Each structure stands twice: as structure tokens, then as C-alpha cells.
Structure 1
């Protein structure tokens, strides 16, 4: 972990939870009241727990928010495989058992890949989950024949490319992300801590603390394994999907649209669909438009809405 790689808010704590193979780093934003609900939040495929910082600010201490760095990312980069949705889901279950053991069933939110982990968590550990909020992820839809892990680079673009790069200093890393098509729509103050947490090593050879092997294993499963996308149809609890109007590169084609959702076979599920206008795959979580709406739906899922 680099010298500055710590949670960026004075109200957030960093904890360690024992899991197979070592310890999982977990960020915790404590609630203002001791009997407030607990919420678990799971980040995307190349992200870290500070992706939830702006949402945490919007929650304003009304819940205790737990946001782990998933295995192979940031503070949990030292945890090796196996990776995959089930392993992440079981790690998340251990987080809840160790840090929220007396809270009963809790609301769980997941962004992008974290939404797929969320559905697996609810299916594998239904005694822990009361409702789920899926943020631009968690619902699979038919992919073109022949889709393979080679599509991952095209899908993730700069987010994946950076894993093979080094950076002279923090300024160079900021410049790399500011060139990302979606970055201008993010809250820059919140994004700063997220970026710092993603870096490891020493100048002039800083690099992302996200392990490429983990990303490729997880992404390959999402692209090729039908079971990875099936959990949303097996959920034992109510769910809500918040989907961004625009895509990962701020392109007009979002991860979801009406046609893709219609093809996903969601009829009859206890799943509410909400489009978040004026948002892309990143800003739905880390932007001034998306974060308040995500926080609002998390509070509702936690029984406070």
C-alpha cells in the first residue's frame, strides 16, 4: 500500500476481516446512532471500496456502511485466488458475520460486477440479506455468439489498460483518468481518494493495486458462464436495478437499455427497474446526479425510506 493509500474521509475506518487466504480490507462509515441499520456495498471489477464515498456522504450517518476492497483489489490485493462471484460472495458473507453479526438481515448494494456478487451473496446466504440494490449491473442478458474474455479489453477500455501501466507520480495518474471519457461527470473530490487508494509502489513506478489476474478471472466468468448471471432470477428477496442512461465510456449505449432488459427474462421477478437519467456507468455511483439517488434507494432498502 502506498503511503497515501488510506480512506480519504475522517469519518471512515479501515478494518480487516479474516477470509480464506488472509485478510480482506473493509472500509466502514459508522452510523450516527448505534442501532442504525447496516448496509454492505460491493464495488466494480477494477474498483475499490472508496467508489462508495460519495454515496456514503449522502447517507450522512443514517446507516453503517461497510465497503470491502474485493479480493485482488486495493487493500485486498494480497489475497490470491480462486476468484469468481461465489468466492467474492462468500468473502462478503464473512464481512457481515464478523462486522454486522447482530444486525440480522441487511440491505446490500452492488455496482457493476459488485451487483453480480450481490446476487450471489443473496442466493448463497439468504439469512444475511433483506433487500438488494443493483447499480448498473447484476442482470445478465444474451450476448452475441462467440463472446469471450477477449471482449473484456474492449468493454473496460482504459480501466483495464491501466493495469499494465506505470505512472511517474500521482499527477500522471490523475491525468490518465481525466482523459477517460466518463471522468468529467464524476465528483472530483470523491474521486481523488478513490484514485489514491488504487495506487501502489514507489515513484516513478506507481501502478494500480488492482490485480490483473483477478480482473481477467472475474471478467471471464461474467462473459462466459451463464450461471454467473442467473442469480438475479433466483433471488430470495426483493431487488431494485438502477441503470445508467449512458455507458462505460460515456457512450450513448448504456450497459442496459429497454431492449436488453426485455431480453433478460425478468418477467415475474420481484425486481424494480429504474433508469437514472444524465448518468453513465461511473457517474451513477460517483457523480452528483447519481450518488444521491443511489443513497435514497439504499435507505429505502434498509427500511428507512
Structure 2
């Protein structure tokens, strides 16, 4: 299906069994619930989906399973997070054959490429398939920063459609607009900066905590996109302690624990990640349990007709 680059696209967690094997049924079950809760699309195999912890055949298994659930109701994008440009291009081709709807492309993993190398990587992957692409820029985590000047060099690549900015510097959205106009659709990539990002031109949100609080996330984003910021603000402030969890190195463990607490999945992760314990586990649990206790009644909050 054609991707409507707008709204809430949760970065779906990949569910595992106790032995770290894929739990496809649980992953699909979570996806179906997210569809029922009104999300606008899926990002499979992103950071939260533990892309780099899966074998190539497992990634395609997840994509096929996702396609079964989505059934053309919402678009499916896959993260592309490979070690080399050639591997990323091969994966883009394989994902296209599965029949998903788009890609979210990361820089090459492990090696910290410079500006020229980074542009070449994205350009090569963009030309490897016919799928539309969202570039994922997250210099805080991946140590590669696609700045606006480099993004401008990719403006001629027709399949590159959108930018997910996770730089934690929302001023960049202004820079992209001032230099490139509306060439790229802008997506918020940091959960606790989503309203600020919408104010500066983002029309989509790739979200981690939406996995735990989907209805509230969708309502908040709908209000923000309608320019009704004052009405979105109470939801944002309630959700903010949880949204902060998206900015830590252990965001995968934090988000999966949140899912488990609200009854939407398992905290099981794949090594070298380990489930949380001790004070860290208690701290995250307290944040999520307080959010559940104080959860707003959406029936009493404004809606967008």
C-alpha cells in the first residue's frame, strides 16, 4: 500500500520466548492490538525491535508476520541496520520482495562514517529498491550525524521521502525547512520532544512508548497535528515521565518492561541485553505503575472529529 506519512508509527518490539527464540505469535498479537488502538503505521525492526540482534532469516520472518497482521490496513516499514552498505542494499531488496511498504534506513552500523561516506551509504541503499525511504538520523546513539547540508545532497533521490530526526535538537527541523522547504516529510524521533517537533513541522512520530500507551499517544498526536496544543498538553505532561525512558541506552529494556507491566507483551530481550533488575528495575516499574494509576480518561478528553 502507499504510505501515508502522517501520524503515529510505533517502533514495534520483537517478542521473544524465554530461550530468546522469536515469539512470532506474541509479536503479531501486539501488532493487532496497536491497529485496534488506532496507530497509523508500523516500524518493524528498528532499535526497539532489536534489529541488530536478529539473524537475516529472522528479520524476514518478522516482516512476513507483520504483513499478515497489517493486511493492507496500515503501512509497514522495516528498519535497515546492517554493518555494510552492500548488506543494507541486499536487505532492502529482500524486504521489497516480502512486499512491505517502505524502509527506515540507518547509517552503517559499527563504523562511524564521515559526511561523504554517510551520503553515499544512503544513496546506494535508496537505489537498491523501489521502496520509499525514511532516513533515520540518531547521532546520539549511532555516532553518525546526517546534517542538513548532507541531507540536501540526497534531495535528488526520489525514493527518499522522509526524515526521522532523533538528534534531540529540534532546531534542526527549522534548518531543514529553511534550506529544503517541504522536500522531506518530517517525523519526530524522540518521544519526549514530540509536541515541540510537531510545532516545528513534524507530521509523524516514530514512537517507542506508544507500545505501552497507544490510545493516549494517538489522541495526543491527533490534537497536536490539529494545532490544538493546549488540549494535547495534559496528555503530554501525564505521559512525560514515561516518554523520558526513550532517551536512555537501555530504552529497549525499559519499553519492553513497560509493555509487560501494562499487559501487552514480555520484557524478554536477546543477549547481550538482559532484563532489568535491582534499583533500575524498581525505578522504571514505579514510573510506569504511576502512569497507569493516573491514566487519563480519554472519554473525558477532547477528540479530533
TM-score normalised by the chain length of structure 1: 0.36
Greater strand share, structure number = 1
Higher RCO (CA-CA < 8 Å; seq separation 6+):
1
TM-score normalised by the chain length of structure 2: 0.36
